[in-house]
Amino acid sequence: MDIDAFLNNLRDRSIVDKGITIRKNELSKAFNGDTIPTLDEYSAMTVELLKLSIDERKYYKDFYEKLIEKHDASLIFNAVDDNGKKEKYQFNKFEILDAMEWAIKNNRLPMSELEKYKLLKMSVEFNKFIEKYQNEKTCTIIEGKFVTVPASSFIELMTMNSKELAEVIKKDKYKDQKLDYIVYALDDFLEHKKILDKYYIPKKVDDNLSTLRENIDITYINRCLDYEVNYIRKVEVNEELKETVLSDMPESFDDLEKAFYIYYKLCSVLTYDDRYFAKRSMEEKREHKNFDRLNTITPTNNEVICYEFNSLYAKLLKEQGIVFELNGSSQYADGHVSITFRVDKFLVNADSTVGMIKSDLAYAKNGLILTGFTLENTNEQTKQQFETKIDRVYEYLRSKENEFNKHKGTVRELTYLEEAFPEDLSLEEKVAIFISMSKDSTLKPMDRIPYEIKLAKILFKEENKNKDKEQFQINYISYEPELNVPLHRTAKILTYNKKGINNTKTNNYIFINHNCEMYKTDLKEIRNSIRKGAVRGLLKDNHIIPGLTIDEMNGIFNFDLSFIPSSPSKSKWNAAIQAIYTIDDLNRNDLDTRIGKAHK
């Protein structure tokens, strides 16, 4: 272990260049002259500042010491005016070289300064880099250990021809050291020594660096090295839930495949609690802040939120010997949490609630490809290997589809129904079908959202093809089932109109609560109920309820829902259905015949 080299390396990184302090009597002259046109239009480099920098009677001593002797990547100027106002100006070596070259060519600097230009230019040549570092060794921490790599190995990899490099890449080692460790150490060296800012990099060297980065995956290095000391060690997963998730997992799966399988099964079993999604008060959050609740989560008592899901998932990963990191607060129930874990070189991010519409908790039950299980590695070969493993798990899940998916009314089913609906259905008939099929779905409210959105896109494709004259819209809202009771649930308001929902005076509005109980309402009733109850839009990209303003939707506005019975009588239910000419108004058998399997 070359600890001295390591400490010297750290000391080298901690050096702070305080820069050159411009004298107050020279501030006006330095920064008010002509700027250098070859530099960025926002650059503060002027001809006069350049002259002061290389004037031996002014700042050339500092200029030479910092850029030539110490070989800093840039030159910093500090300016303090009479009022004590401080400004810092920083120019890298290549900006200064470009400025000097332009000034000499345009006779703004005398030819006598050409030697200074040549001296600075020589200092950035790649050969100078080789001379300076070829006999040095670098020390860095890799996978919890000190690793020393001679800089000569870096130089050889950077300068060898493409055929030689290709042969090296095929092997796991170079000069008895792991190649990915060398490449990691090389990147670390280039970054902290600011090599790319100090030297001109020949195209061949630049190409070799690109080839190494494209073919050698170092993303995983120094990530997820050990289990964090956190609350996961205290988590107890309910045995019934564990049995449901793990019972059919093939022994032939490797660790990454097991990790994805467990994630998928958890998503298919658990559901996001719509009460928490619709939350307004701390009272409503309290249940999910109870750590002991984790052990009570089962396949039937399955409503969770993000940190509950990830606590259970992390514990199951740990039991499989998979190392993870928690992303978010280290304290339980203190904000959104996701997981990063590592299997071999695969560094995976898992977030089942990356978005409410795009929640994997809903996607799994709807038969959709999950979007929250993602690879952090950017290496193309690693990505292909990852996708192959994930596809293997999907293939197994599809073979067990009837066993795993017990739900009715999912996006998967709509795949087969898209062409089943007859073209001559009226708007009212389509609204009736939407309500009936949504009600028949066995999915819970949050899991049903992707299904309802897809169903609406299919049913109202023609009615909504003109964005300015859309005839149907869904808005997901939060509401109080009982007034003055601090508990909220998700619900939806359907708006439809043959003339287009922008014609708000003739719009039809249907309120449907979390139990699929419905009531016909109107915009006047919504507005007149502002003083009671509470309703708000839930989804960030949700439309404004037609007829309301942005301020009304963005703020919390009140909505008197006392007219919505918690258990509506049959007469009220039928009256609500009749209000939109739904199934009871039509010949049910005739409608079933017309849409075939679409309504079953």
> What is the CB neighbour count within 10 angstroms for residue 355?
14
3-state secondary structure of 436: helix
Pair type for strands 472-479 and 535-537? antiparallel
> Shortest CA distance to 320 belongs to which of 421, 214, 245?
245
Q: Are 221 and 334 in contact (CB under 8 A)?
A: no
- Give the whole-angstrom CA distance, residue 388 versus residue 80: 60
DSSP for 455-473, please give it: HHHHHTTTTTSSGGG--EE
> Shortest CA distance to 460 belongs to which of 426, 506, 491?
426
Say which residue the tokens 């600011």 belong to: 194
- Give the whole-angstrom CA distance, residue 133 versus residue 34: 39
Burial 235-251 (b: 16+ CB within 10 A, else e): bebbeebbebbbeebee
Region for residue 224 given its phi and psi (left: phi exceeds 0; alpha: psi -120 to 50; beta: otherwise): left
pLDDT at 541: 46
pLDDT tens, residue order, the chain (600 aa): 344 444 344 333 333 346 788 887 787 778 777 888 877 776 778 898 899 889 888 889 988 888 888 888 888 888 877 777 778 888 888 889 999 999 999 999 988 899 999 999 999 999 999 999 999 999 999 998 999 999 999 999 999 999 999 999 999 899 999 999 999 999 999 998 889 888 999 999 999 999 999 999 999 999 988 766 578 888 999 999 999 999 899 999 999 999 999 999 999 999 988 777 666 555 556 777 777 888 999 999 998 888 889 999 999 999 999 999 888 776 776 778 889 999 999 999 999 987 766 789 999 999 889 999 999 999 999 999 999 999 999 999 988 876 666 788 888 888 777 777 777 889 999 999 999 999 999 998 889 988 998 899 999 988 998 888 899 999 887 776 665 555 667 788 899 999 999 998 899 999 888 888 888 888 877 665 434 444 444 544 456 788 877 666 544 333 333 333 333 333 333 333 333 333 333 333 333 333 333 333
Burial 21-55 (b: 16+ CB within 10 A, else e): ebeeeeeeebbeeebbeebeeebbbbbbbbbbbbe
> Shortest CA distance to 310 belongs to which of 265, 281, 353?
353
| Element containing residue 62 per DSSP (H, E) | helix 60-64
Q: What end-to-end distance do the CA atoms of the chain give, in Å? A: 71
pLDDT at 420: 76
Burial 267-292 (b: 16+ CB within 10 A, else e): bbbbbbbbbbbbbeeeebeeebeeee
- Give the whole-angstrom CA distance, residue 534 versus residue 599: 34
pLDDT at 543: 63
pLDDT at 36: 87
Pair type for strands 346-350 and 489-496? unpaired
pLDDT at 582: 32
pLDDT at 15: 35
- Give the whole-angstrom CA distance, residue 59 versus residue 77: 10
Outline where DSSP puts E strands in 468-574: 472-479, 489-496, 508-512, 518-521, 535-537
> Shortest CA distance to 139 belongs to which of 184, 103, 99, 108?
184
Alpha helices in 441-512 (DSSP H): 445-459
3-state secondary structure of 429: helix
pTM: 0.78
Say which residue the tokens 């009597």 belong to: 25
Q: How far is CA 93 from the centre of its chain?
A: 36
